């Protein structure tokens, strides 16, 4: 069984001496304040601030827009730029806790030739229903898949369902580079022999699950050396063995 370690966060403390300096300066300046001068100075400051705002907005907006674009694009493995593989093994599972598959789900396919397989799982006194399918995909099909996923995930959330994506390639990968490119924040990790597993949270992925006390929606495992090995990307978490 994998065990995980959490990443720490640095904490900062306020500097008390700043308060003392401020109080000292305020005390020295207080007797010299002229009401008329204060009003005029205040008006000048307001004018300067108003003239500065458009300039500040103009130069800050491109950075903000770039951040939004980078967070709304979550490439899967083939289009990530981190693997050289041209094909990947894809497995999709639709999970329904209440045991009921919503009407129309059977006909909602990620690809034209997709085939769903129905299965039932007994968990205690409750029955879980699943639809699953698998096939090999290329880069173009992967792009269409993610578009389908973003729409399907929202539809399933309204009916209590969850969609799980499992994509695998025959190549080891630099997981940290992928997480950095997609602005995903690591929450749990494990290293066993030559296999690295990292669970993370990415704001643009709509589905998520709890792993202990951590909310995650993306999990990557990679084993091997250099480019030789195998990698799996799972959203929001891994269901099948790796």
Round to whole Å and give the CA distance between 36 and 44: 13
Same domain, 57 and 168: no
84-117 pLDDT, tens digit per residue, is 999 999 999 999 988 889 888 999 999 999 999 9
Q: Do 129 and 153 belong together in one domain?
A: yes
Helix (H/G/I), strand (E/B), else coil: 162: strand
Tell me whether residue 141 is in a domain: yes
In terms of residue numbers, what domain contains 52? 17-72
169 and 142: one domain?
yes
CA distances from 166 to 132, 138, 145, 160, 218 (A): 11, 14, 12, 20, 10
In terms of domains, do 131 and 227 share one? yes
Q: How many domains does the chain have?
A: 2
- Do 148 and 181 have their domain in common? yes
> Would 157 be classed as within a structural domain?
yes
pTM, two decimals, is 0.69
One domain for residues 228 and 188: yes
Confidence of residue 159 (pLDDT cuts 50, 70, 90): confident
Give the confidence band of 73 by pLDDT, cuts at 50, 70, 90. Answer: low
Domain-embedded: residue 135: yes
127 with 49, same domain?
no
Other residues' Cβ atoms within 10 Å of the Cβ of residue 184: 24
Distance CA 64, CA 55 (A): 15
103 and 200 share one domain: yes
């Amino acid at each position: 069984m994998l065990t995980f370690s959490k990443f720490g966060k640095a904490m900062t403390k306020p500097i008390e001496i700043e308060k003392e300096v401020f109080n000292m300066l305020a005390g020295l300046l207080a007797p010299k304040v002229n009401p008329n001068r204060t009003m005029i100075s205040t008006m000048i400051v307001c004018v300067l601030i108003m003239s500065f705002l458009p300039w500040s907005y103009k130069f800050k907006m491109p950075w903000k827009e770039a951040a939004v674009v980078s967070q709304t694009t979550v490439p899967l493995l083939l289009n990530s730029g981190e693997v050289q593989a041209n094909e990947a093994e894809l497995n999709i599972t639709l999970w329904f806790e209440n045991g009921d598959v919503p009407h129309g789900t059977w006909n909602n396919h990620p690809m034209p030739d997709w085939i769903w397989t129905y299965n039932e799982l007994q968990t205690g006194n409750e029955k879980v229903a699943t639809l699953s399918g698998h096939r090999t995909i290329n880069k173009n099909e992967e792009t269409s898949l993610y578009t389908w996923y973003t729409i399907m995930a929202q539809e399933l959330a309204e009916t209590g369902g969850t969609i799980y994506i499992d994509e695998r390639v025959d190549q080891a990968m630099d997981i940290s580079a992928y997480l950095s490119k997609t602005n995903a924040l690591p929450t749990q990790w494990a290293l066993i022999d030559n296999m690295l597993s990292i669970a993370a949270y990415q704001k643009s992925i709509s589905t998520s699950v709890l792993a202990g006390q951590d909310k995650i929606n993306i999990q990557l495992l990679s084993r091997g050396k250099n480019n030789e090995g195998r990698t799996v990307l799972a959203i929001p978490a891994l269901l099948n063995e790796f």
